[in-house]
Structure 1
């Protein structure tokens, strides 16, 4: 037991040292010799615990991402308990994710490998946190695409923004890029504000008929609430969920009607 605890402590110390080197100097600084010296261990210890440098980098990525995702999960729990507006909570999550990516360029590039992301428990947990935020929004009747589609769009847009900003010299980065991309995503996934609906042309945010947007949002909201219908049997809830999934997924994939695009409405928080 003592040996196991010591092994865990040694592993944690090595990961902490490697994470600091990665953040301060980039992947090139994360060498087995350099990490071993600063962690106070022999180089063979790193090979025994992590296999090779790639194994160490993967452990570092998981360590940093786990801490970040855990913090996000706490924020979602707090927002839910305090009944914070789901759209405000989702917006805050977007900004937090963008800021994190910009502040951790080496880690972001490390996690840019699709195979690494696919196998990362922390990445899966991060998607679950985003899905929880989207689910809260879906229950309000404001989401006009499926929850999975909304998560995919937000995740893809956020990754693109971070990649673009990191590829641009800091003094030339567009400070409005993240906000503009966020507005573009909202235009795709949300129904119009009732007060700002295009009553003259009867169109929704993306040019589809307003009635279609409303029906879709109702279907998405109903689907989000199905697990709460405890008066029904599990089989009945599953059947309703299947029907609604079919409606939502079919409508989400349908193209907008040509020639009916109307003006969009910004949903920025006023400062």
Structure 2
């Protein structure tokens, strides 16, 4: 009984968010539509923010399930490009839900946002192990996620001004900065140092320190990430 009540409240709230002109809903409207009292809603979700966070996770579960089912290919760079495009496509198909997920009113990031970031970081760690990124995976993930979310929000909020072409141009420009081209014998040695540092850091992480103590591995990672993330003075 408890589970069915929670599910009914969640599904009603998700429908109201989807149909709302601005994506905002009231707990009173949710209770009336779900035919439950306010105590039941607060017992299951704590408060309105808890309810909205659950709505976001409920909606994004389909998106995350598709990413999990996709699995990993041998081409981490292509996975990164597809990840950007699928993120934007989901935002356009779920405009109110996407606005809600990235609203300043959501003081605690929904679990879906955290998992999406972990998946992106995992793809970047694989790319780093292949020598394909210029900075540490964690910094690259922050750069890509902030740009991906920003572009998606512009497409959702201002469709008359921004379109898919803008998304592709921003994606390609950012990836040209973060990713390395295929290995070339003409690549100058000084340009290879950050990439080599990022790759070694990723490989050490995969090998769980490769014989180093926990403290030594942490220090080595700090040094390598500092070299990988250093900006060239040229």
Quickly say closer, same or farther: Cα 1:62–1:26, change in 2 above 3 A. farther
SS at match of 1:145: coil
SS at match of 2:36: coil
Range with greater deviation from structure 2 (99-108 or 31-40): 31-40
Which stretches in structure 1 are left out of the alignment for 5+ residues? Answer: 1-5, 203-209, 258-271
1:252 to 182, 207, 229: 229
1:172-251 → structure 2 map (5 Å cutoff) = 172-194=161-183, 210-229=188-207, 232-235=210-213, 239-240=216-217, 242-251=219-228
Task: Please report how far the alpha carbon of residue 194 of structure 1 lies from its aligned counterpart in structure 2 after TM superposition.
Answer: 4.0
Given that 1:61 and 1:107 are in contact with CA atoms closer than 8 Å, whether structure 2 keeps it comes out as: yes
Quickly say closer, same or farther: Cα 1:192–1:46, change in 2 above 3 A. same
Provide the rounded CA distance (Å) in 1 between the counterparts of 2:189 and 2:10.
54
Given that 2:200 and 2:224 are in contact with CA atoms closer than 8 Å, whether structure 1 keeps it comes out as: no
1:32 corresponding residue in structure 2: 27
Task: Please report how far the alpha carbon of residue 145 of structure 1 lies from its aligned counterpart in structure 2 after TM superposition.
Answer: 0.6
Given that 1:145 and 1:189 are in contact with CA atoms closer than 8 Å, whether structure 2 keeps it comes out as: yes
Segments of 4+ moved more than 4 angstroms:
26-29
Which stretches in structure 2 are left out of the alignment for 5+ residues? Answer: none
With normalisation by structure 1, the TM-score equals 0.75
Given that 2:54 and 2:110 are in contact with CA atoms closer than 8 Å, whether structure 1 keeps it comes out as: no
Given that 2:209 and 2:217 are in contact with CA atoms closer than 8 Å, whether structure 1 keeps it comes out as: no
1:48-73 Cα offsets, whole Å, 9 max, x none, are 33344333222212322344324323
Range with greater deviation from structure 2 (220-229 or 111-120): 111-120
Given that 1:111 and 1:117 are in contact with CA atoms closer than 8 Å, whether structure 2 keeps it comes out as: no
1:205 corresponding residue in structure 2: none
- Find the structure with the greater CA-based Rg: 1
2:131 to 134, 138, 141: 141
Task: Please report how far the alpha carbon of residue 173 of structure 1 lies from its aligned counterpart in structure 2 after TM superposition.
Answer: 2.9
Provide the rounded CA distance (Å) in 2 between the counterparts of 1:251 and 1:111.
31
Given that 2:61 and 2:112 are in contact with CA atoms closer than 8 Å, whether structure 1 keeps it comes out as: yes
Task: Please report how far the alpha carbon of residue 85 of structure 1 lies from its aligned counterpart in structure 2 after TM superposition.
Answer: 0.9
Given that 2:144 and 2:174 are in contact with CA atoms closer than 8 Å, whether structure 1 keeps it comes out as: yes
SS at match of 2:74: coil
1:1-271 → structure 2 map (5 Å cutoff) = 6-26=1-21, 30-75=25-70, 78-79=71-72, 83-114=73-104, 116=106, 118-168=108-158, 170-194=159-183, 210-229=188-207, 232-235=210-213, 239-240=216-217, 242-257=219-234
Provide the rounded CA distance (Å) in 1 between the counterparts of 2:43 and 2:133.
49
Task: Please report how far the alpha carbon of residue 219 of structure 1 lies from its aligned counterpart in structure 2 after TM superposition.
Answer: 1.8
With normalisation by structure 2, the TM-score equals 0.85
Q: CA RMSD in A?
A: 2.7
SS at match of 2:181: coil
Given that 1:223 and 1:241 are in contact with CA atoms closer than 8 Å, whether structure 2 keeps it comes out as: no
